[in-house]
Structure 1
Amino acid sequence: MYKTDEAFTAESHGLVVGKAYGLRQGYDEGWNAAIAHVQPQYDAALREQRELAYALNALSVIAYSALAALKAAPEQHRLAVTDIYAKEVNRLMKAGQNAPGAIRAVPHTDPALLAREHDIANLVRQWFEQSLALAKQQQRSNDNSPSP
């Protein structure tokens, strides 16, 4: 069939190069189709991420405003707020045995909140510590009070 070894080698080489080119072209076409299929989902995920960032920023403004308004409140009100906060944290961290907690850490110690809204986290932590000290002080005064 082939008159020389060079002719065989040339045709074999041509077949290998042609096959490689065809595979590469098919790979590129498949890659482009995959990207075209995934791109809308990726864009939607980016939009959702931006929307969540805006929502969290708005929530932080609301939280910071509420906390700033509570600064002027009597200590008993802040103690009540801290008590509600602690109960809600316990409830959300213990969502059930089969379900993971709705939050991963006490909010004012959460690394994500500390990285983005450290003012809010520090204020809540400070109030929490003050409320605990006030509650302990009230408990000591109740324990030391003379019984009738």
Structure 2
Amino acid sequence: MPTFVEMVATCTQTFTVNDTEPPVLHDIPDDVEFECSDCVQSFLNSSFENPVQTTTSNTQANFIAWGGYGSWIYWHENGVEGWDTEASDNRIELHPSGFNNINSADGNQHAELNAHQNSDLFQTFCTVPTTYLQLVLPTLKEVNQTIHQTI
């Protein structure tokens, strides 16, 4: 039987959004000042570096469960800065780099998508029109001979 590492395929997905339409603001009262820069927000915690897993993670707020220090850990979405999930239990699973011989593409941690149920893992942010935005999402999929997975 192949090892876990031998059953892994990798894929990097790059999405580019180039909005060339200038901003058009409607129905803003004369006494309200609105700057387009008010809406710009940075992508937060892109490498899942927060919260940091420690030997006392199981005593922290928003901790749900773990496989022990150096293993997987479930955090409530409120504890993972910038990220939300549609999972019914609000869990986000983070793995330290090197867990199951899988290194994080960037930083010291990574998230497992659909860890225990099909759900979305996402951030909501806005940009000003004419902003060039490029998202690079390194993904890893387990290769299973009996189940076809689509990323």
**TM-score scaled by length of structure 1:** 0.22
Structure number with higher strand proportion: 2
Structure number with higher helix proportion: 1
**TM-score scaled by length of structure 2:** 0.21
Radius of gyration: which is bigger?
A: 1
